[in-house]
A and B are shown apart, each in its own frame.
Chain A
Amino acid sequence: MRKRLLKLHCLLLLTFLLCATLPSFSQSPPASAAASTSASASKPITETDLANTPVPATDARTKGDADGSLTGTASDVSVSDAKKGITIADLANQVGQNKIAINFVWTLITGFLVMFMQLGFALLETGLARAKNANHTMMMNLVVYGVGMLAYWLIGFTIQMGGVGAIANLGGTPPLNAEYAITLFGKPFGLFGQHGLFLMHGGTYDVGVMVLFLFQMVFMDTGATIPTGAAAERWKFSAFIVTSFLFAAFTYPLFANWAWGGGWLCNLGANFGLGKGYVDFAGSGVVHAVGGLSALAIAMILGPRIGKFTRNGRPQAILAHDIVIVLTGCLILAFGWFGFNPGSTLGASGNGGLRIGSIAVNTMLASATGLLAAMLYMWIVYRKPDASMTGNGFLAGLVAITAPCAFVNPVGAVLIGLLAGVLVCISVSFVERVLKIDDPVGAVSVHGVCGIWGVISVGLFADGKSNYGGSWNGVNGSVTGLLYGDASQLVAQLFGVATLLGFVFVMSFVFGFVIDLLVGQRVSAKSELQGLDLPEMGAVAYPEFELKAEM
């Protein structure tokens, strides 16, 4: 009996294995079929072929198309002359339009994902603040969207992208062709763009330009919302509005032009032989370091919250009021990052668009190692896997991989995230204990320090295997870092870091300092102790809670 059962089992197993392997045989076409497919593929299409292409009859369509085989056929190709029918020119135009349509849809949807990150920031920052400042912190995260967008529409987009030139994935964007440049060391130095005011000037009322504006606007807004975290619980609302306007109109667009808009940094390769120029794929430097350094300048000017340091300068923990929404915010941000990084290809079709999978995987991997590294660091050093620092490690990995995500392999991404997770823990401690700067959410460390690390990591880990149309920043070949043989790429990246520290920080500080002189950056001590919700916003976030004012 046992023997029979054993035989039956063996038979079943054999049948299962046979069934499992059968589809793989049927999926491989015979060599002759493959050869004939290849021969027909190389044969040019003629007008006769097109005329003879079978299209479904109208009657067939009226009965419905349950399996989808009758919808989307040659009859859906737009024709220029109905009498002539479909021509090769019609077909080529349709293919071209389809490519651009795919890229438009891709860029818009990823842009919407980036816009959703605003909610992530709002929850993260509000959760880390105390309940008495929840309305104020939430409002800053909401209002920065409107103020930033308006400033960017008025002038920021022009400065950033007005001279970017052709973006092939979005159909060429020909109106964005006016970059103001000076000559320095015998080479052109692009400083700012000139076309695009109000999205009307210089022919910029254009379908491709609109897509680019939306995508770039939400990036700028991500940067603009970073200082609200570092300045939380003590920033005067009016000063915040003016600061955000200046950030969106000038600070961010200027550096973004130099890095992405045809300015001097991205041309360091073409003009000075430094790798492929400054390379920052999705903005570790442009978005995060600019936001983080602005946050540092403002936090410095504002000074720490009352009670953050004792009289002898020892830092005190000020607890987050809702760790649940902090971690919810982190997860929303990680989801939005799938728009941030893969979306920066500005297309899924053509010029390396198929690297989107690799970019998304690198993004995921770096976030995972950033999270684990920070959690383990806190666990080992402070004996507990601190939730807010684990969240910060998660974001640190994402910030760091933002610049290199398109140029590194998965092992590189894992290492970049891992180092970012450790770096953010050390940096938060350094900023608080040594610099004695109060940064309630760790924005300076997460975005500033890890943003700079991301920029440098391109110059180290770029593996030279990426291909986005055969060149990058006008220099032939792939972006290659020091570990893969090109030291000059690292130098180009360090030029970017020098510009961030020496120019962007200074610009942010000067703006902040002038605003402090004119309208004052900090709320009164009385308002701060009471909580900013009532004195600044006129309503508390949680009216049914009993909140304790500090004395």
Chain B
Amino acid sequence: MKIAGVLVTLLGFIVSLLSLHLNSTGVRLSVVLFGLALSLFGIIGVLNRAYLKNPIWKKG
């Protein structure tokens, strides 16, 4: 789960980077925003959720 979170976050960066191949500013903007959303989802939705599965306050 943690590795998946890291990979999704990294994928967001790669998607943004690939938009450099495009020419239109508007399309680049859309793709970068999508990449950003993907990275945020990787950090908040996947990686952090993995850490919240067994948090310290539920132990002992």
Contacts and interface: CB of A to CB of B under 8 A. Distances in A.
Contacts of A494: 16, 29, 32-33, 36
Interface string B27-54: 0110011011011101110011001100
A201 B51 CA distance: 44
A304 B12 contact: no
A490 B33 CA distance: 11
A185 B20 contact: yes
B13 to A, nearest CB: 2
A498 interface: yes
A300 B48 contact: yes
Most buried by B among A274, A311, A490, A505: A505
A436 B39 contact: no
A490 B40 CA distance: 19
Contact of A501 (B12, B25, B29, B57): B12
Contacts of A321: none
A190 to B, nearest CB: 14
A510 B47 CA distance: 12
Nearest to B48: A435
Contacts of A310: 57
Interface residues of B, number: 34
B39 to A, nearest CB: 4
B51 A498 contact: no
Given A300-B48, A501-B12, A505-B9, A311 B57 contact: yes
Contacts of B6: 506, 509-510
B14 A502 contact: yes
A513 B1 CA distance: 13
Contacts, number: 92
B48 A498 contact: no
Contacts of B12: 498, 501-502
A interface secondary structure, majority: helix
Q: Which DSSP category, helix, strand, loop or mixed, fits chain B's interface?
A: helix
B10 to A, nearest CB: 5
Contacts of A304: 55-57
Contacts of B38: 502
Contact of A313 (B20, B42, B57): B57
Interface in A495-527: 495, 497-499, 501-503, 505-506, 509-510, 513
Q: Interface range on chain A: under 10, 10 to 19, 20 to 34, or 35 or more?
A: 35 or more
A246 B34 CA distance: 30
Nearest to B3: A513
A488 B10 contact: no
A300 B50 CA distance: 10
A272 interface: yes
Contacts of B16: 494-495, 498-499, 502
B59 to A, nearest CB: 9
Nearest to B27: A491
Nearest to B58: A311
A308 interface: yes
B25 A491 contact: yes
A513 B2 CA distance: 10
Contact of B10 (A184, A435, A506): A506
A303 B56 contact: yes
Interface in B14-30: 14, 16-17, 20-21, 25-26, 28-29
Contacts of B13: 498-499, 501-503, 506
A376 interface: no
Contact of A497 (B2, B11, B36, B56): B36
Contact of A300 (B21, B51, B56): B51
A491 B28 contact: yes
A498 B21 contact: no
Given A272-B20, A494-B33, A497-B36, A487 B55 contact: no
A196 to B, nearest CB: 27
21 contacts: A272-B20, A274-B28, A303-B55, A304-B55, A304-B57, A310-B57, A313-B55, A435-B44, A435-B48, A437-B48, A487-B25, A490-B29, A494-B32, A498-B16, A498-B35, A501-B9, A502-B14, A502-B16, A502-B38, A503-B13, A505-B39
Interface of A: 184-185, 268, 272, 274, 296, 300-301, 303-304, 306, 308-311, 313, 435-437, 487-488, 490-491, 494-495, 497-499, 501-503, 505-506, 509-510, 513
- What are the 10 closest A-B residue pairs judged by CB atoms, nearest first? A502-B13, A498-B16, A501-B39, A309-B57, A502-B39, A502-B12, A494-B32, A303-B56, A503-B13, A488-B25
